[in-house]
Amino acid sequence: MMRTALATTVLVFALSAPASAREVMDVADLVEQHGPAVVNISTTKLVKRGAENFPFAVPNDEEMQEFFRRFFPGIPGAPGARGPAQEIPARGAGSGFIVSNDGYILTNAHVVRGADEVEVKLIDKRTFSAKVIGADSRTDVAVIKITASNLPRVKLGDPAKLRVGEAVAAIGSPFGFENSVTAGIVSAKGRSLPSESYVPYIQTDVPINPGNSGGPLFNMRGEVVGINSQIYSRSGGYQGVSFAIPIDVAMEVVEQLKAGGKVSRGWLGVVIQEVTADLAESFGLDRPRGALVSQVQADGPAARAGLQASDVILQFGGRPVENSGDLPRMVGVTKPGTKIPLQVWRKGKMQTVTVELQELPGEEEVAGKAGKTYSRGGLALSELTPEQRRELRIDHGLLVEEVTGDAARAGIRVGDVILAVNNGKVATVETFRKAIAAVPKGKSAAILVRRGEGSLYIPLKISGE
């Protein structure tokens, strides 16, 4: 009688990080031990539905106005509608995790931004109303607090010890499915994204979907090494590329939010770009490295220190700047008012420039200054939020909120995104105003506009109105 040998294939997660067997846990053990510290977050925001929120613009025509008064009298916001505007609850969901026994919870800023109510649900079905302690849009980190004690909390790990290929796992609420667990590996570290300057993301292939935002990324020692924040997707769903905020970066933000409700960052006042091999050769550098200064912002710290366009910043405070993405992070974590020596490559020679950093203006401060003030030419503009930049996949631009005068005649529309004026990139309202102020009366400025999926130039003639 002949015996047949059956081959059994076993799938095993192999850890790249050197660790003894007792330091490594099974995913099931990880979930059992640390899953109770992961929470589900539900948010509610009351949105007013009034005339300004009617789903489309009603022509300023008496016949059309009469049409709406006759056939849509009960729709809030329609011309001639009776009664006050209604408040409609808009609901959202995300994930988070407890970092202290007395109820401090980390999540993403975009999960709780603008929420009127935040509710936290634990794995044991208890629910709590949460208070938003602070949120930082630039890193997408938020801290919320519930009133409770003796809560389970996560252990924090060291993202610097992560290795590419190391196994990791996530717990969260994708598409509202509470306490879902997914696993994968670290795909890359220190990843820079076009819309972000202050976060060296951990890239993974862990399945992350809407609802996972704010949840923890665990290593196989049961330590949180990141906060799941973004996915790269053409469909809105998981496609194998996910990004997490390193937990050490997040905790630096958390301490400032807990202390004062906001984050203070250093500001240098330059626009930079990557040094390619061709640029390195043209500048006489030994190899591609550093951050190339393409623009020095007027009245900023760099301008006062004498930094110039075409300078290549090679060191910041004695630390090497290998890639242009390194510089914003170094500047951002430096206390405003600090004097920092920069090693600069200028016209084939090494020089040292000392700059005193200022505080980076907060987004709410910038938005407050922009308000609904019309610039010369008839535009009311606002800076894009990080979410808008991510959605549009651009790193700068100004959203057109209102149009009148010259801009209306030129064909610029509400919802357009202005990218450049006369081939000069615009990222702030002030930059746009200065560019338009330089255009003589009766002359035109070439406005590069993002509209839908495409871009076009629009000549904006300044009449002086």
Q: Which residues are catalytic?
A: 110, 140, 213
Tell me whether strands 223-231 and 155-156 are parallel, antiparallel or unpaired.
parallel
Angle between helices 429-437 and 363-370 (to 10 degrees): 40
Q: Are 100 and 57 in contact (CB under 8 A)?
A: no
Q: Are 244 and 229 in contact (CB under 8 A)?
A: yes
Q: Are 102 and 92 in contact (CB under 8 A)?
A: no
Of all helices (H) and strands (E), which one includes residue 68?
helix 62-71
Q: Are 287 and 280 in contact (CB under 8 A)?
A: yes
Interatomic CA distance for residues 237 and 28, integer angstroms: 25
DSSP string, 392-440: HT-S--EEEEEE-HHHHHHT--TT-EEEEETTEE--SHHHHHHHHHTSP
Q: How many CA atoms lie within 13 A of 200 on its CB side?
A: 18
Max Cα distance, the chain (Å): 101
| Amino acid in the structure at residue 302 | A
Q: Environment class of residue 63 by beta-carbon count within 10 Å: exposed (0-12), middle (13-18) or buried (19+)? A: exposed
**Which residue's structure tokens are 């190899």?**
287
Q: Are 302 and 270 in contact (CB under 8 A)?
A: yes
E strand map for 232-310: 242-246, 266-267, 270-274, 291-296
The secondary structure of residue 237, as a DSSP letter, is S
Joined together, the tokens standing for residue 323 give: 């890639």
Interatomic CA distance for residues 285 and 21, integer angstroms: 47
DSSP string, 169-189: EEEE-GGG-TTEEEEEEEEEE
